Amino acid sequence: MLLSLMKYEWRNLNADRTPLTITLLLGVALAYGAWNGSQWVSFQRSTIQSALQEETERLRGVRNEIPKVDAGEIKVSPFTDPRLPQALGRGPGARYAVMPPSALGALAVGQSDLYPYYFKVTTGSKQTFLNSDEIENPVHLLAGRFDLAFVLLYLFPLVILACSYDLVSAEKEGGTLALALSQPITLSALTMAKVLPRVALVMTLAVLLPFAGVVLGGADLAADGAVERLLFWMAVTVAYGSFWFALAVAVNALGRSSATNAMALAGLWLLFVVVIPSVLNVAVKVAYPVPSRVELIQATRVAGDAATRQGAQLLARYLEDHPEMAPAERGGIPDFGTVQVAVSEATERAVQPVLDRFDAQVAGQQRIVDRFRFLSPAIVAQSAFNDLAGASAQRYSHFLAQADEYHRQWRGYFVPRILRKVKLSAADLDQLPTFRYREEDLSDVAGRLQIALLGLLIPTLLVVFLGWRWLGRYPIAGA
Amino acid sequence: MTMTLLIARKEFTEMLRDGRFRGAGAIVFTLLAGALLLGWQNHRDVSAQHRVAQEATRAQWLNQGKKNPHSAAHYGVYAFKPQAPLSLVDHGTDPYTGVAVWLEAHKQNEFKYRPAQDATAVQRFGELTGATVLQLLAPLLIVLLTFNAFSGERELGTLRQLFSLGVSPAQLSSGKALGVAAALGLWLAPAAILGSMAIAAASGQGEVMASAPRMIGMALSYLLYFGAFTGISLAVSAWAPSSRAALMILLGFWMMNGLIAPRVASDLAKTWKPSPSAFDFGQQMQLALAKGSDGHDPGARAKALEAGLRKKYKVDKAEALPVNLLGVRLQDSEDHGNEVFDQSYAALWENFAQQNRIHQMVAWAAPGLAMRSISMGFAGTDFPQHTHFAKAAEDYRRMIQRTMNDELTYQAPNTGAPYLAGNDLWKKVPPFEYTAPGAGWVAEQQAPSLGIVGMWFVGSAFLAAWSARRVRVA
């Protein structure tokens, strides 16, 4: 019975070209979204490539320069002498710490357009190189991108609601509901028979098209965890879509007119996709206000001034802490390079508490978002999509931590050589530490995703239950 | 006229009695009032932080002790972007542009620290600001109030009765529009008063008068925009076969206008007029700086400069020059750098301007884009005003450089002996004062967008009148 009803429903849908319209609308939007995302990924890739190419050429230049300086063919000042570690580590020898776009990067731009994805690491303080923001028209950052995540978060629910807002009400208004229920079938079963073909169509599109997009976009599915991430993506899409179908059924079950249903569902969509997220955004900012970064700038400057004034003393204290780094010959005026080391480390140490305060505020915001995102499936889905596409703030922090570690290694290489006044040779260039990005562990992401899936499924089941209860009391005839 | 007013009064009374309108209106009002209040609080905090920082950077500059003028130039100062009072209504692009720029020797720096980087990803759903409520939610309220203006009367059979009484379509549609306007005004007027109070409180002394024209410009533009939405809704209501169809069409338009068009416009702009990557931009600039605009290497440039000076002062040795050669060379390299920066930033900002013109083209189909641009403009949070500030800061940087280099050139001995300047010199650099452009400047910048919203207003009024005249009564 259910099957044959579904068959008729499908025929019905076909008669008014619903499947075609949906396929076209959703298909075009999804394809366009996927294309946009892959444009962004290839932009990042080409930028990274130019950076790495610049690094290779620059290092090759230094390698050729060193013997010429040795031979006295080129005259250099102590600030530009590539053999001096304090000069080399600050500029000519610098290397990039790069976070490549993840395997599914094309699926969501997320926060990746807001945070840097490469740093030119030097012996200077962190603040000097941690700001390599990408150039972007701020109006574009404000508007956001038309990527797959946008299509799935905003448009996909609308397509679902558009094709199911009058699921039961239209039957009633057309006078066919009483007729259909005179057959041996319950209203729940009839509703099921009507909703399932729609679910099948919309979900197939929403799941398969991103998959096609990923494959055509040249994503590396062989990458570690890529297939699992894609499966998770599909699961989140299905769970998110199910919520909206459940909502449409539940609203229908209240027995109002099609027009009222449409209004109510549009209102709910607005509530979940626009109002709750923006109210939550405001609420977290009130709970954990992040002061303007001008405070960080000032703190850095004050600390820098203090450190510069104490320069020589700082160096003496530094050498007391690190006697192994003390230069072979004692005494004399410490040169600029050595003082610089102590000054920049002291500045960084002094600024760290301020930085930590900023981080703590943002972390506090994130905690509230994590707790209250379950108020809106759209927020749950957004954070899951960002996680899966490697466009989340968490992945950026993961990268930042690695860049930080690399910065320590970099200094660990140069500082002792600066203090011991070692002269570097061309061969030493091969010994410079290199950066290799380690992708977030799938298990870290998987934990967050499982909670996200639950956060989508529990409300869905709740709404399904309510809908089912309400369907039992549905006024079949009359108003 | 009396008939129009009668209809308006009937509509108004009916809406007030409708629980749905009261509910929706109350939600919109609460969100708007909340957004304004929080906007004011945020504005107060951030402005205070920026003011303190601006004073501190000045104090640091003055108290930097005895130094070589060029060391002082390297030390530099920071310019912190002030918060325009109206930014509490519309944050515009402020969260996505840096808050401060370091004004140092040799370099025009980028603005650093975009506030959005210190927020969660929820921010990307859109911020709850006055602008969000006015641009996104208020039009939706208008749609919900007017979608069945004609179709509802037709479906109830009252449209035929109305026309049989001799009511003209024009009277009916203007009456309905007035009714909606009055009902909306009931929510918007208190919000506007609240907003003006917040803006007045946020404007420092003497700034209130400067904010007033911007406030009026913004309010009038929003009224035009709401008028356009009312007109479109009425036209669709008269033209659509049923209330349901009217609602669907209008919701579709609202969605396209508010959510899809901004993104599509951004993508089109990025595709047609791509911006350089920050990396390429930096490399190009480095290359140009190293080469010199005339293509000579800096060594040759410096030699030519020296030769020129020797000729000018008729001496045959650099040591005999009455000016300090280092100071002249530094200023020369500044001059060369400034040419490069002017070219590079002019090209980048022109690129953004071209992209924004593409947004404007899309705005002919989606007036929300034009409204967004106008609103940010009057709020003082759009990109043109960011560059206005950036240019002022850069001019200030160049002034500092020239002051320091002139000191070196004309005061420092030409013997290579160390030269130290002190507080007297630092005081020669006046504090950084920035005056934001006036409302007239904004209106000029926003002329195309204002034209688009105006056209939509006029066009939708005509459309409503035309559709009303051709409305089917049954």
- Residue A363 distance to chain B (closest CA, Å): 9
pLDDT classification of A323: cutoffs 50, 70, 90? low
A143 touches chain B (CB under 8 A): yes
Longest alpha-carbon distance in chain A: 104
Distance CA A251, CA A267 (A): 11
CA distance B433 to chain A (A): 17
Q: Which of B369, B385, B377 is nearest to B452 (CA)?
A: B369
Distance CA B226, CA B139 (A): 7
CB contact (8 A) between residue B264 and residue A365: no
ipTM of the complex as predicted:
0.91
A214 φ, ψ (degrees, to nearest 5): -65, -45
User: In this predicted structure, what is the pLDDT of residue A433?
Assistant: 92
Say if CB A241 and CB A206 are below 8 A apart. yes
Pairwise CA distance, residues B379 & B214, whole Å: 7
**Within an 8 Å CB–CB cutoff, is residue A383 touching chain B?**
yes
> Any residues with CB less than 8 A from the CB of B90 and at least 6 apart, and which?
B129, B130, B131, B218, B375, B376, B378, B379, B381
Q: Give, to the nearest 10 degrees, the angle between helix A187-216 and helix A156-164.
A: 150
CA distance B125 to B138: 18
Q: Tens digits of per-residue pLDDT, B399-458? A: 999 999 999 888 888 777 788 888 899 999 999 999 999 999 999 999 999 999 999 999
Say yes or no: A55 contacts chain B, CB-CB below 8 A: no
Q: For residue A108, which residues of chain B lie inside 8 Å, CB to CB?
A: none
Alpha-carbon distance values, A357 to A209, A295, A478, B95, B126 (Å): 43, 11, 63, 20, 25
d(CA B72, CA B68): 6
Residue A116 φ/ψ, nearest 5 degrees: -65, 150
Instruction: Note the pLDDT of residue B298.
Output: 55
Which residue in B279, B287, B374, B432 has the most chain A C-beta atoms within 10 A of its own C-beta, making it the best mutation to test that interface? B279
On the question of pLDDT at A360 being above 60, the answer is yes
Residue B121 parent element (H or E): none
List of chain B residues with pLDDT < 50: 293-296
Question: Looking at the complex, does the CB of residue A115 fall below 8 Å from at least one CB of chain B?
Answer: yes
Residues of B in Cβ contact (< 8 Å) with A144: 124, 262-263, 266
Q: Give pLDDT, residue A246.
A: 96
**Touching check for A300 and chain B: CB below 8 Å?**
no
Percent composition of chain A: helix, strand, coil (DSSP 3-state, to 5): 70, 0, 25
**pTM (2 decimals)?**
0.91
A349 touches chain B (CB under 8 A): no
- Give the minimum alpha-carbon distance from A321 to chain B in angstroms, rounded to a whole number: 29
Binary contact (A273, B125; C-beta < 8 A): yes
pLDDT tens sequence across A267-311: 899 999 999 999 999 999 889 988 888 888 888 888 888 888 777
Q: Return the pLDDT at B1.
A: 67
pLDDT of B11-46, one tens digit each? 888 888 888 778 888 888 898 898 998 889 888 888
Please give the interface size between A and B, counted as residue pairs whose CB atoms are below 8 Å apart: 220
How close is the nearest chain A Cα to the Cα of B30, in Å? 11
Answer whether B179 touches A (CB < 8 Å): no
Chain A contact present for B118, CB below 8 A: yes
As a whole number of angstroms, the distance between CA B374 and CA B384 comes to 12
Cβ of B31 and A362 within 8 Å? no
| Cβ of residue A258 closer than 8 Å to a chain B Cβ | yes
Given this model, what pLDDT does residue B295 score?
44
| CA-CA-CA-CA torsion sign (B295, B299, B305, B308) | negative
The secondary structure of residue B421, as a DSSP letter, is B
Q: Are B130 and B218 in contact (CB under 8 A)?
A: no
The candidate with the shortest Cα–Cα distance to A123, out of A438, A424, A426, A437, is A424
In B, residues 306-345, which contact A (CB 8 Å cutoff)? none
Contact call for residues B464 and B234 (beta carbons, < 8 A): yes
**What Cα–Cα distance (Å) separates residue A274 from each residue in A98, A391, A455, B129, B259?**
34, 21, 18, 12, 10
Query: Is A263 in Cβ contact with B144 (below 8 Å)?
Result: yes
Q: Judge: A296–B112 Cβ closer than 8 Å, yes or no.
A: no
> What local confidence, expressed as pLDDT, does residue A141 receive?
92
Q: Quick: pLDDT tens for A77-93.
A: 777 788 888 888 888 88
Q: Is A75 at the interface with chain B, CB within 8 A?
A: no
pLDDT of residue A312: 67
- Residue A449: is its pLDDT beyond 50? yes
Chain B hits for A162, CB-CB cut-off 8 Å, are 248
State whether B122 and A133 contact (CB < 8 Å).
no
Q: Which of A162, A280, A282 sits opposite B38 (nearest CB)?
A: A282
